[in-house]
Structure 1
Amino acid sequence: MEDLKIIRENISKWNSIRNEKNAISYLTSGSGFLITAEDFENWDLLAPEFINCYLAVNENNDFKIYLVDNLTDQEQDYKLNENIFEKNFQEYFDESFLNQKGTINSNLTPTEADSRIATWVLCANAWVNHKQALRQEEVTAESGEMVQVFTLPFSDLRELFSDKNLESLKATFALKFEETEALSGYEIEIILAKTEFQSKSLSEVSLVKETFADMSKGYPPSKTAINQFNLL
């Protein structure tokens, strides 16, 4: 399958450069990517537990995201635009993260979501430099590895897409503070956001309501299991 060969090559290219200094130029080259209702409906037929989110760079040096459900990834029965989708890393979203925000069943408050996204925007370069410094020391080298793939709980998508009128979710990078026995510091994450416009008439200014979900996990620094990510 030629498409799968290209996908693997693109993912492999990111893996080969992710720990280099210029990796930050890809991670900050846009605001994020979209997950559509059609994507969700295709995955929902399979009832997966997670969506695996691979980072990639194509032959034109464009940053790409590949999304595939964990069941397909385990079985390696990939079908482009059916269970695996290529996403552009968009330079900007049509709507911004604004006012009148709410949450789903998550510990993430709107204020915290804004803070994490802003921390990424303002501190991404410093974070990458910190990762590089960690890789220089044997004790912390593993913690300094840059992310290859994220997992997104499918339950988050199911809850956000419970609104049948929703066409897409926004996914954007953020920095979250984490503390473990070995090390404490900031780690990159993906925050999902649902945008709802509320206006009573065409002449009125629309209010924007944002609903967030933030249960993504990055690998590394998290440990991978055998047969978990078969596109790496």
Structure 2
Amino acid sequence: MSMIIIAALAAASSALTSPDISKIMSFGDYPQWALRKNESAAAKIEFFVDRDGKPRGCTVVAHIGSQQLAQEICGLVSKRTYPPAKLADGTQTLGFVRTIVSFYIPGAAGANDVARARMPADLEFNVKTSLLKAESAERYLTLQVAPDGTVQDCVPKRAYKESRVGDEWAKFCENRSLLLQPVRLDRVGQPATYVTDIKIAIIPEG
């Protein structure tokens, strides 16, 4: 029995995974000058996480609220290291992250807009209502992207504390031509294999 458990744990640990950014920021990182001024901001950022877990190339793509605070977010993000992306065989690889980082003080001017900031969906699918009970749903897919932008591997990203992902979500990985991604360059400027997450929105049809 113990051998079966060990094998199961090993298999789980070698699944395709994107960089772990669950601890990307905390309230303790809130710049003191922004706290004193009651400044709030949400920044949509993009950055690479190299095989050693070090971030690079962080850029602010869009922001809500204080521009000064939003521009500081990349500097804060770049001070950390993150568990890197892994291929299905457990090999560490380049990761590309797109996310929103928010700092806000409840009740402060503009804080409600900042708190509501969310990543938009990369793709939308209309499906029969038999697939989903909810009016709409969102899910991330984790992709392994080849140097030419084609998708080599795809798995539904498991949500926090979720024990499994239903098979209905895996079907969205089947048509990989719809999931084509931009070519990304490594440190020396060459097209690289990388792992990233994309967000899909499911809109049930009547």
TM-score w.r.t. structure 2 length? 0.28
Higher helix share: 1
